[in-house]
Structure 1
């Protein structure tokens, strides 16, 4: 059986890995040239079983609207609404309920826990060349209200079986003594991990090629050949590719490819930025999130990566300096040993996260096509959920019963 995977990001490569493990002959079509960038390369590299609340949660839409006037805010929407953005926004508001959060939390917990276990297996297989570090994650707060909210979130996490510890500033400093912090307190999630995304992606691609997986670069999908409820070929800028089964894992560009199959996949690209300090003044041992600033901080070897923002501005990778300034200004507030000058002149990476209206990925077969699997829309948890998504794709391709129920992730749920 042959499988053609559309997309060479973390979801596409993990899908290829688990499909190849089952004996499929796999071709990966990637829209970028070989060595090109993707949303999987410059992110914070976090694996987060602690993240059991979907982006579509009560209060998120109001929060976003309040931030519109501040171009340096953690969340921003370009004030040029399109039909697709309005439709996505209405669906987001409808999804952002407490009932949705309560239904999604056990699923996200199970997905993240399974993915973490798969990462441990991959680390053993790869000799941990991608630097998996299992030291947990700190949610750092500056204010008492934020600390109280995170304390309440820790209680909910423990109810779901997710370990969480509420720490004073002194206890936090003892846990990670290599970094000076000015905080009101923190919550520590010991099961979270971090790694180097670029090393992971390079290692996956290299081993897939060694297994005989074919990669075709600069291959944007322009159309499809179909017959009797099945797709027989993908038409791309690099030619026509036939296969027995197809996996749509194109990230933020998935809706564009899906239109040719009459699939409705509401999605917005959520742009994020990161800056990497190669020789930081101080280097924490534990990855952290600045809660109020919504900024992620990850040690990667001897470097320190700092990233954040959710900018809804279409499939546009251009860098907005005001958005980057918001990230940079937050660092000295939590890590006073640093100054804004430390980041002057450093290159800024940008990537597009595929964001669905309910904050859950699209994963499974659409009703219209019996030999297509959709695997996209992972938003900010793409790297965290890469292996479990690939594992589930492999199971669906092989006709097996998925090890985690996919009902809530159906790609047709907004059709």
Structure 2
């Protein structure tokens, strides 16, 4: 099921799980005994698929509701059916268990999509008719493209507007007015798969070729920060991207921790926490927005963190172009999937993003890779992630 935000995908998945677990004749000939539930992270699976307003617990009547054991990551129905919860961040957790059915939510955002999907297929080996349901806002990743080309896959599509009676009118008015007809709106609201923008600096195929499961030992790591101009609700996001470079001069984009709606001390704390977790060498901070305020607020969080201040003297496209060339030369790798960042890269052309928004994730990436690959850098330290 490919659908827009708020289109009812989660409710559909929850009702499907309820139907097969209870043996509802509209869903299954008999109750399905063992079910896998896979979310982008365990937190997503718990808060959206199980406990959320449209989650599995919410679609059951009280007398038929399963018992939820968060510590065991397990749902158990009165009739003996059992559903186990998994995170797509840990594909190997699907080695060993076996199932009759599975519900995979937001697959297009899974960091280890191919590996997790493969492990799930090996586990779907019980019963006469193993089955699985995928609910996701689409992105043009190879896995979803294969589904659409496979005649054995039943495809449903649903738009955000199709579920209007269950959504706040102000929400619909706002998002349709701002994003309706744009590339982002067609993907996030209409559930369409949007291919590459012809004049974009990056391509989906190029990024797929750059993807790896893990980085080699890294000589230097930086966390780049592209601060918003203000902390209002309508402010741009704070771009936060971590990257490193190995001994052979290949860069690895490690994480996109970009966040919206945070006040300066909050995004500074988030950037410093990522710096500490990765044992990075420096924070690279653009100071065009707010001048020295950006570096000052970081030093208030942790005065020991080395901060490299950078100032934009050229437009975003001119800054990004040399970095896109590094990708074309095969000198940059993405560790796992970074869907929101990759969407920005493949939608950034001479006129910016098609939505007119600021490319905050891309800006942070450009600063990180510029610092690592296009500047004279200090003597590195070897480390293994």
TM-score range, shorter chain: under 0.3
Q: Which has the higher contact order (CA 8 A, sep 6+)?
A: 1
Q: If you compute each CA radius of gyration, which structure gives the higher value, 1 or 2? A: 2
